Amino acid sequence: MSYSLALSLAVVAFGFRGSSRWILVSAVLVIIASFASAQLFSIELLALPLLFSGALSLLLIQVNQLWAMDRQLTRSLFHSSTENVDADVRLTSGLKLLNTVLPLSEAVVFRYDGSEDLQAVARFKSPLPNPQDPRRNAVWREGIGLCEKAAVTGKIVNQATSVAVPLLHEGETAGVLLIRLASKFSVDDAALLRGVGSQFARNLERESFSRNAARTEVFSFFSQTSSRRKLDALNVLKAVNVEQRCEASTLAHIEDGVAIAYLDGTLALVNPALLSFAGLTAEQVANMDLFDLLHKFRTDVFDEPEIAVRRVLQTGDEYEGELNFEPKNQILNLRISLLRERLNNKDESLIGIAVHVKDLTATKEYEKLKSDMISLMSHELRTPLTSINGFAELLTAEQSLPVQAREFVSIIANESQRMSRMINTFLSVTQLQRKDKQEVLKIPLRLDEVVRETIASLQPVAKKKRIRLLEQPAHRIPPVAADKSLITQAVKNLVNNAIKYSPERTTVTVSTALEAEAVRVCVEDRGFGIPAEAKERVWDKFYRVVREGQEKDEESTGLGLSFVREVVEQHGGHVELDSEEGRGSKFSFTLPRL
């Protein structure tokens, strides 16, 4: 008994490894003492029972220490993983976000633990009127079969318009998302569904763990169920860690506004700068989701944040817009983009949505000052040019002038008129670059009507050059948000160029078409075409194409196409050129539809 007690005290005081040498020495001394007492005093000390009792006490002490450490580890692990999570709210928010991307008719999130039946925990039904499907019950029974298959295989399973998405976290299936689409499923949406599915799985894991707390921590070291709970707790911590990767405390110290949202629409972080831009407090934003926050930045241009978020999620391209808040005399740049996590060298996983807001007020004031200076200088040039042009025209009408002098005066008049046209176009470009909202008034505008009016106004010019100017009709063209005068001038520039650089007895065709979320205007001619080396430069200011065997067109200012690009890009669109020398050119631009 004394020997076992001594060994136990040594292990408690110094640990098993620290006292192992002394334990071996004591065992050897016990054996020697037992042998000596038997030989010298004929007394048997029973070395084997002593050694056995000592070993047993060491084992019990070690098990007790491991047990105590396990209880401490379990307590810490469970307590750090029991954050209350309302999965129902987050899942419903995620389904609403998914509905902005996919045409959902119905959606259900099922919980799955591998042994029990699927349990529905969240539902979504499209608010749009949907006629009663006589096969609805049969379709949902088929959907349950898809869910069971997806849960077992861990892969997306689809049949017609029904899609089952396994909700995977750390390689294990936490549930299944079953959706019914209003149209056929596209494989291009698989990456988005996997990303949203991972978020849903993390929500389910965290809620399940927080609700099913361990009954006791005393016998967790010997319990298989407790061991499973420890693995669940570890998975929950990993889930939390995944969500916290898209948070950065340094964002609170930058001047630009930044907000980060998870893929279920929940706001993960909103820095103080963005709170200031939105006019919110931290307490107010705590009860908001992504769309509530974006609605604080609504303007006449950015009036439907849901559409902007949908485009970002569908295309993966960031949304960027300039917001003018006249009452506050403030101009903000708003950018919405996706946050991705690189899984390996090729694959990426969507983990969140970022909102970036930058104050452009001071920059715009500087640009306006610069443009005003350029405009002032240009206006100062107009006065002498007007005088030169006026007197040149008077001299041209003078019959007593010699022929050579009249020719010189005619050249002076033509050149002064050309310079006046150049200054006028240059002023238009500089005013446009200022993006002065008092001069750019965006209203709902139908581009097919703009094309029709432009063709009617330019028919006399086309007939004079014996060119057929045609409109290619289009049906059901939606409106765009645009300044009518600027867009009309841009279309006129393109049509005028087509007429100007087309041979006689050819055709210029102007068309409008709907392409996904944009409306395209196209002007096609059968003219000389643009050389390959000049295609990128034709949009630059003052650039004029030099064709082989011809000199630059001295009548051109080189600002017409630059004006078109400035107008289109200010309206959130882009310009394109498709041309081949000797076979004509196709100039086009697109504007986002309303």
Q: Which two tokens stand for residue 197?
A: 């599915």
CA quadruple 373, 376, 380, 381: dihedral, nearest 10: 70
Q: What is the predicted pLDDT for the residue at 269?
A: 86
Q: What is the predicted pLDDT for the residue at 438?
A: 43
Task: Calculate the alpha carbon distances from 4 to 9, 16, 29, 63, 569 in Å.
Answer: 9, 14, 14, 15, 87
Helix (H, G, I), strand (E, B) or coil at 127: coil
| Domain residue extents for the chain | 2-80, 87-127+134-211, 271-359, 364-434, 443-592
d(CA 184, CA 382): 62
CB 136 within 8 Å of CB 198? no
Place of tokens 């001047």: 255
Q: What is the predicted pLDDT for the residue at 540?
A: 80
Q: What is the predicted pLDDT for the residue at 40?
A: 59
Beta-bridge partners for 445: 480
CATH class entry, domain 271-359: alpha beta
CATH architecture type of domain 87-127+134-211? 2-Layer Sandwich (3.30)
Long-range Cβ contact pairs of 164-168 (< 8 A, separation 24 or more): 165/193, 165/194, 165/196, 165/197, 166/197, 167/109, 167/112, 167/197, 167/198, 167/200, 167/201, 167/204, 168/194, 168/197, 168/198, 168/201
d(CA 515, CA 520): 7
Q: What is the predicted pLDDT for the residue at 436?
A: 46
| Residue ranges for the chain with pLDDT beneath 50 | 81-82, 215-216, 435-438, 549, 552, 554
Do the strands 104-111 and 319-325 form a parallel or antiparallel pair, or are they unpaired? unpaired
Query: Which residues touch 419 (CB under 8 Å, ≥6 apart)?
Result: 381, 385
Q: What is the predicted pLDDT for the residue at 302?
A: 85
Q: What is the predicted pLDDT for the residue at 437?
A: 41
Q: What is the predicted pLDDT for the residue at 581?
A: 81
Superfamily of domain 443-592: Histidine kinase-like ATPase, C-terminal domain (3.30.565.10)
* Residue 264 DSSP class: T
d(CA 482, CA 479): 9
Domains 87-127+134-211 and 271-359 fall in the same CATH topology:
yes
Q: What is the predicted pLDDT for the residue at 588?
A: 93
